[in-house]
């Protein structure tokens, strides 16, 4: 890796709220085209990073902010059915760099978020099969996986830290995990 490259710290914040399950009748609406839904075919480009860089963070080259949110929900026989989306938030994500290595690093943060969205979808599916009606159980699972995702994001940054070999290992690792959970990929009606 080039020694003159600005240190890039990548952060993925999850917009989650304890009230997320109380807003179940509000289907996802694009907010001025500010959010990008994670899709297999759609990779991030630097033009997606529209936020204003935080000048107080001089050692940070780019920040990715995302959200795992309920897109839609309904109830079938008193059993909650949730559609979970993984989003990149353009206005909250920013960059001061434009190299391909850093972009791949940021993309993997987004991919990790999708990985944990799939884990949530899988766990919700399991609860649905068991005909679980306890909305608090769904909330607990959501909170658990969002917290695990944040720790996994930190682990990724700590292990990679400008190590090309480790970056490639993580790309393979996350790619395999996404493939293993392919059944739980959200497919948008707009695909």
**Which single residue is written with the structure tokens 């993309």?**
107
Res 162 pLDDT > 50: yes
Residue 159 placed within a domain: yes
Spatial neighbors of 81 by CB under 8 A, at least 6 apart, are 73, 74, 75, 128
Arithmetic mean of pLDDT over the chain? 84
Residue 179 placed within a domain: yes
Res 16 pLDDT > 50: no
Q: Taking the CA of residue 101 as centre, how many other CA atoms within 13 Å lie in the half-sphere pointing to its CB? A: 17
pTM: 0.84
Residue 74 placed within a domain: yes
Res 140 pLDDT > 60: yes
Average pLDDT for residues 6-30, to the nearest whole number? Answer: 37
How high is the pLDDT of residue 19?
35
Residue 114 placed within a domain: yes
Residue 165 placed within a domain: yes
pLDDT level of residue 11 (50, 70, 90 thresholds) = very low
Residue 125 placed within a domain: yes
Res 42 pLDDT > 50: yes
Domain that holds residue 60: 12-184
pLDDT digits (tens, 9 = 90+) for 47-62: 999 999 988 877 778 9
Q: Between these two residues, 30 and 111, which has the higher pLDDT value?
A: 111
Residue 4 placed within a domain: no
Residue 189 placed within a domain: no
| Tally of domains in the chain | 1
The H or E element that residue 177 is part of is helix 164-180
pLDDT level of residue 190 (50, 70, 90 thresholds) = low
Instruction: Indicate the SS3 state at residue 68.
Output: strand
How high is the pLDDT of residue 95?
95
How many percent of the chain have pLDDT more than 90? Answer: 71
How high is the pLDDT of residue 59?
77
pLDDT digits (tens, 9 = 90+) for 71-125: 889 999 999 999 999 999 999 999 999 999 999 999 999 999 999 999 999 999 9
pLDDT level of residue 18 (50, 70, 90 thresholds) = very low
CA angle, 163 then 166 then 167, to 5°: 80
**Would you say how long the chain is, in residues?**
191
């Amino acid at each position: 890796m080039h020694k003159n490259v600005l240190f890039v710290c990548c952060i993925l914040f999850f917009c989650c709220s304890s009230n997320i399950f109380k807003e179940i009748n509000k289907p996802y609406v694009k907010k001025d085209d500010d959010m990008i839904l994670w899709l297999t075919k759609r990779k991030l480009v630097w033009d997606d990073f529209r936020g204003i860089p935080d000048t107080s963070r001089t050692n940070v080259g780019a920040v990715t902010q995302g959200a795992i949110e309920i897109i839609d929900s309904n109830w079938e026989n008193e059993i909650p059915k949730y559609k979970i989306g993984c989003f990149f938030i353009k206005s909250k994500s920013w960059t001061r760099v434009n190299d391909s290595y850093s972009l791949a690093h940021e993309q993997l943060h987004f991919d990790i978020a999708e990985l944990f969205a799939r884990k949530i979808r899988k766990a919700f599916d399991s609860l649905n099969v068991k005909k679980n009606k306890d909305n608090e159980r769904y909330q607990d699972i959501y909170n658990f996986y969002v917290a695990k995702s944040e720790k996994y994001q930190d682990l990724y940054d700590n292990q990679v830290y400008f190590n090309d070999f480790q970056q490639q290992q993580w790309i393979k690792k996350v790619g395999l995990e996404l493939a293993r959970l392919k059944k739980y990929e959200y497919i948008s009606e707009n695909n």
